[in-house]
Amino acid sequence: MGEGARRFVDWLAASGVSLWQVLPLVPPGAGSSPYSSHSALSGNPWLLDPGGLAADGLLRQEELSDAALSDAAGSRQPLSPGACCPDAVDHRAVRELKGRLLGLAARRLLAGSNAELLAALSDFREAEPWVEEAALFTALHRRFSMRPWWSWPEELRDRRPAALEAARRELREEIDREVALQLLFDRQWRALREHCRGRGVRLLGDVPIYVARDSVDVWAHREMFLLERDGTPRVVAGVPPDYFSDLGQLWGNPIYDWRRMAQDGWTWWRQRLRRALDQTDLVRLDHFRGFSAYWEIPAQAPDARQGRWVEGPGMELFSAMEAALGELPLVAEDLGEIDQPVHDLRDALGLPGMKVLHFAFGAQSDHPFLPHTYPKNCVAYTGTHDNNTTLGWWQGLAEPARDHVRRYLGVDGHDVVWDLIRLCLSSVAHTAVIPMQDLLVLDHRSRMNTPGEADGNWAWRVRAEAFNHELGGRLLDLCRLYGRAE
């Protein structure tokens, strides 16, 4: 969230881009996934900028040099557009090296190295009451060697008041450090958001529909999920067989007790959406179809094929959210197996859906992801974080679909990635989003995520060398040509 991020925002603005879509800002969970976090409201401390912490008097310059963060997290080889970027985050090295720096910074904040920040900590705790429970959960996780909460001693697993109070006393220092890191995340993110505003760049955030079973959200609000008394799920989330998998996807997240949430006035969802909209200008609602009907899988099923569709909360939830929060600037991730009720709910709310070019070709001329069928109220993508890169997609595409692409665009395919970028930007969709990997024409080795695979995801990173005048100029020309540059 430091100088590199600000340079990126400056490059976006100079390139005619006015929207930056980000992955969930929460601490990553299993497989380093931001869609499997231990806290739906926390910020990811690994995104903190050590340079900013030094500027706040919480770190020393020699400590930054000793950490050698860049060397630990990837190579320094030069990058040029069109070359495959080998860079990937070494999450273990980041946790070890950056973890030491963050620990130092939090302890110095609490010791009064920065009086302004220490005073702000009290206000932050009062304004964000969820942070105490999240910090306690993190501290207990460490105490029990990162074992899941349902394997903790019964009195803590079941949140007996005396056991919780004792844990808060015993773990006070560690809890305070975790709260301090959340304050620092909040301050750095707000500063970056202000920089975006100053450059005319809006932020599109992301709220996963589900939360991880091993999370403070489930541990602290067990009554809001379909669980047995000991925390064992009765049913779990996923999706039926689709484009990505013949077996469907068995996500394993616990499923909400929507009826119980309605009785509570949707308190948990109000808090979650309020937090997301406080961090970004718009929010992409992941797996929007689950609000219409969700795929419920028996907890012991070997794969997702044994699931069934169950009616979701629908308009009742969103009416309550609008009453509490006002107009909802949301984007509906309406991909996957979609039926008419999903479209009806999206349209009743006036939300834009998503159109992905990778899914458009090789079928009939009326396919809803072909740009000549788009409504204006949608967001067009070449591909998303769940897709292959466009170059990787093209390299693996069957010849009939390739032929469809060439004929539809009137091209020979020698520059197909930028041909699809042009197609996306030229569509009537009021918003178009291009993954950075596509702007750099990178192949499958730079893919962000492969759905259904637990390992090897969420590691690609872009380096500052990519934000150059040549690439930005090419993008600016297209944004201006199609009226997207402000």
In this predicted structure, the answer to whether residue 83 has a pLDDT above a threshold of 50 is no
Residue whose tokens read 């110095």: 108
Is 345 a member of any domain?
Answer: no
pLDDT on residue 455: 85
Question: 274 φ, ψ to 5°?
Answer: -60, -40
Read off the DSSP letter of residue 83: S
- Number of domains comprising the chain: 1
Extract the tokens encoding 279.
């961090």
Q: What percent of the chain has pLDDT over 70?
A: 95
pLDDT at 452: 78
Within-domain flag for 282 = no
Tokens representing 486 are 């402000």
Q: Does 286 participate in catalysis according to the annotation? A: yes
pLDDT value of residue 287: 95
Residue 164 pLDDT greater than 80, yes or no: yes
Given 87, 155, 264, 286, which residue is catalytic?
Answer: 286
Q: Which residue has the tokens 């740009």?
A: 371
**79: pLDDT strictly greater than 60:** no
Q: How confident is the model at residue 38 (pLDDT cuts 50, 70, 90)?
A: very high
| Mean per-residue pLDDT, 371-394 | 98
Query: Which pLDDT value is given to residue 67?
Result: 60
d(CA 335, CA 360): 12
Whether 447 maps to a domain, the answer reads no
Catalytic one of 333, 334, 419, 438: 333
Span 239-248, average pLDDT: 83
Tell me the pairing of strands 353-356 and 308-311.
Answer: unpaired
CB atoms < 10 A from the CB of 259, how many? Answer: 9
Segment 253-275 mean pLDDT: 96
* DSSP summary character for residue 460: B
pLDDT of residue 451: 86
Cα–Cα distance, 99 to 50 (Å, whole number): 11
Per-residue pLDDT band at 71 (split at 50, 70, 90): very low
Task: Give domain status of residue 70, yes or no.
Answer: yes
**Where is average pLDDT lowest: 134-143, 175-184, 342-351, 446-455?**
446-455
Residue 454 pLDDT: 82
Pair 367, 322: CB distance under 8 Å: no
% of the chain with per-residue pLDDT over 90: 86
pLDDT attached to residue 74: 44
298 touches 306 (CB < 8 A): yes
Alpha-carbon distance of 375 to 356, in angstroms, equals 13
Of residues 79 and 303, more confidence is placed in 303
Would 469 be classed as within a structural domain? no
Q: How confident is the model at residue 229 (pLDDT cuts 50, 70, 90)?
A: confident
> Residue 82 above 50 pLDDT?
no
pLDDT band at 245 (very low <50, low <70, confident <90, very high): confident
Q: Of the listed 386, 419, 438, 443, which one is catalytic?
A: 386
**Residue 190 sits in which domain range?**
43-203
Q: Indicate left, alpha or beta for 462 from its phi (over 0: left) and psi (-120 to 50: alpha).
A: beta
Res 257 pLDDT > 70: yes
Active site residue 123: no
Q: Which residue do the tokens 């007790």 mark?
A: 257
Q: Average pLDDT over the chain, rounded to whole?
A: 93
Kindly state whether residue 337 falls inside one of the protein's structural domains.
no
Is 81's pLDDT higher than 80?
Answer: no
Mean pLDDT within 295-318: 96
Q: Specify if 293 maps to a domain.
A: no
State yes or no: pLDDT of 85 exceeds 80. Answer: no
Which stretch of 8-17, 31-40, 82-91, 420-429 has the lowest confidence by average pLDDT? 82-91
Helix axes 416-426, 469-481, angle to 10 degrees: 40
Supply φ then ψ for residue 28, to 5 degrees: -70, 150
Q: Does residue 444 sit within a domain?
A: no
